[in-house]
Structure 1
Amino acid sequence: SILEFTDNAFVLNGFSKLFAMTGWRLGYIIAPRDFVRPLQKLQQNFFISASSVSQWAAIAALRDAQKDVERMRKIYNERRVFLVSRLKELGFGLATEPRGAFYVFANAKHLSSNSYDLAFDILEKAHVGVAPGIDFGKNGEGFLRFSYANSMENLQEGLRRIEKYLQAR
């Protein structure tokens, strides 16, 4: 636990991404002992408890899913490496390569100053969904967010379509 190294840390996390349990609405917090009771009071007054089925699923995930998690990490890493490489080949800039989640935030300012219009144009003409950077704040303008939470085959096809879209511009 992080609290072995410092008594000043809070860790807030969930099961959605790590265990592929989106929709189960499960999370947890690791906190210094002095904060446990105040946090319990907040939880009791602001959040409805998770269903017993969700809680049992979380226990099973924690006990039995480590091999699955490692397999998923390997697969996501392969997709990440592929997507980053292809985006660079297609001329997108990356300030940093992602180390978590399953998204790449790519600079598309050379294509358009309006990320919303660009994302919509890609959707309309290439039939590939990307998120406009402006959706993540004003500093995201000119960027597009690509997800690699799909099969390698679909990523390859999506990037082939984006390449064709870029060639037609």
Structure 2
Amino acid sequence: MEHLINQRVKNIEISGIRKFFNLVADVEDLISFTIGQPDFPTPDHVKKAGIQAIEKDFTSYTHNAGTLELRKAACQFVNKKYRLDYKAESEVIVTMGASEAIDITFRTILEEGTEVLLPGPIYPGYEPIIRMMGAVPVHVDIRKNQFRFTLETMKPYITDKTRCIVLPYPSNPTGVSLSSDELREIADFMKDKDIFILADEIYSELTFDQKHTSIASFIKEKTIVINGLSKSHSMTGWRIGFLFAPESLAKHILKVHQYNVSCANSIAQKAAYEALTIGINDADIMKEEYAKRREYVYNRLKSMGLEVVKPDGAFYFFVKIPETISLNSFDFALKLVQETRVAVVPGSAFSEFGEGYFRLSFACSMANLERGLNQMETFFQQQK
């Protein structure tokens, strides 16, 4: 019966991140710098809120868009943090993680033959959904621009078919962000264009050198902001995301969401409310530790002679594989595991523009970072 499967689905491959992670998962004594999962537990007070929701039988469907108390808390959160102004009743949807928010956005705004501009390299979660919609992903090479997806880099790729531009900042896999001036320049250019902006800001609470700025603060009417609690509150498994959009757009996205999942998990919504209110600054503890690790890893990588851009946020380094190593990124990562028992993600997982690089996540203990980087340093010395 496989010949009856939707051809667009058949053409999609499993994420290169997961593919490599699964391949090496059974290696003994492995030091993994692969998955983008905070190594901190969900805050205790947030877990207790989830437990109380179960004990009080808060286990039924909620409003399709999420409980009103949570939507109000989400709007207050982004207003306080990023000066964004959204109406809780009609301009925010609680989703099953940021991934569902991306899915329902593309399914709402894309049509056959429309184009979506993406920076390259980029997280692999966008392209398959775009292709399933019959739309066309257009990658813009940002490697020579310090991984910055600026107006100058995207303008040559904008056509009358361009329907959406994806701005994922801080970026996975590079950790690079955009400045307020760079975002304003994009917003000013887009004001008279019939193009949506999808701003994936899931790492917005994990920035180091500058406070996060959302492009929606300049051009709300054309922007869909996606955020969530996976990274800011170490709640990856709780699957709570948020989608913010003008009412005229949100009302249509809500229809897709309704038929997709009905509503987000009710128990997780109670925990999310706790996270956004009592735990509004919970990310600060993690961010302080990540900042220390970033400095350590950056100095170690530079001392090895590796080419790398220092990340502005998130918890990744995107590192150039030395020219002395004549392997593609997948084979390089496999050899690294075999010879050092250190796992990184091949750059090819992040589009063709990631080839020749590898992603290193520093969302792990300092002890593991030190041990793993020591083994990597020995490996690179042997390749010279």
Same-fold status (TM-score > 0.5): yes
Distance 1:5 1:136, change over 3 A: closer
- SS for the counterpart of 2:220 is coil
Percent of paired sites with the same residue = 37
Displacement of 1:75 in angstroms is: 0.6
Using the alignment, how far apart are the partners of 1:146 and 1:112 within structure 2?
20
- Normalising by structure 2, report the TM-score: 0.42
Residue 146 of structure 1 corresponds to which residue in structure 2?
360
Residue 336 of structure 2 corresponds to which residue in structure 1?
122
The two structures, once aligned, show a CA RMSD in angstroms of: 1.6
Residue 7 of structure 1 corresponds to which residue in structure 2?
220
Q: Note the residue ranges of structure 2 that are not aligned, 5 or more in a row.
A: 1-78, 86-216
Q: Which has the higher contact order (CA 8 A, sep 6+)?
A: 2
Q: Which amino acid aligns with 2:341?
A: H
1:104 pairs with 2:326 = no
Whether the aligned pair in 2 keeps the contact of 1:112 and 1:142 (CA below 8 Å) is no
Using the alignment, how far apart are the partners of 2:246 and 2:281 within structure 1?
30
Displacement of 1:122 in angstroms is: 0.8
Displacement of 1:5 in angstroms is: 4.7
1:74 pairs with 2:292 = no
Distance 1:76 1:40, change over 3 A: same
- Map 1:15-26; keep pairs closer than 5 Å: 15-26=229-240
- SS for the counterpart of 1:106 is strand
Displacement of 1:7 in angstroms is: 3.4
Q: Which amino acid aligns with 1:46?
A: N
Distance 1:130 1:7, change over 3 A: closer
- What CA deviation, in whole Å up to 9, does each residue of 1:105-144 have, x standing for no partner? 0001423341111111111111101011111111111101
- SS for the counterpart of 1:23 is helix
Whether the aligned pair in 2 keeps the contact of 1:113 and 1:141 (CA below 8 Å) is no
- SS for the counterpart of 2:238 is coil
Q: Which has the higher helix share?
A: 1
Q: Select between 48-57 and 121-130 the one with higher mean Cα deviation.
A: 48-57
Displacement of 1:79 in angstroms is: 0.9
Residue 380 of structure 2 corresponds to which residue in structure 1?
166
Q: Note the residue ranges of structure 1 that are not aligned, 5 or more in a row.
A: none
- SS for the counterpart of 1:99 is coil
- What CA deviation, in whole Å up to 9, does each residue of 1:47-80 have, x standing for no partner? 3422221111111111122343111111111111
Using the alignment, how far apart are the partners of 1:85 and 1:45 within structure 2?
49
- Normalising by structure 1, report the TM-score: 0.91
Whether the aligned pair in 1 keeps the contact of 2:232 and 2:282 (CA below 8 Å) is no
Residue 157 of structure 1 corresponds to which residue in structure 2?
371
Using the alignment, how far apart are the partners of 2:330 and 2:228 within structure 1?
30
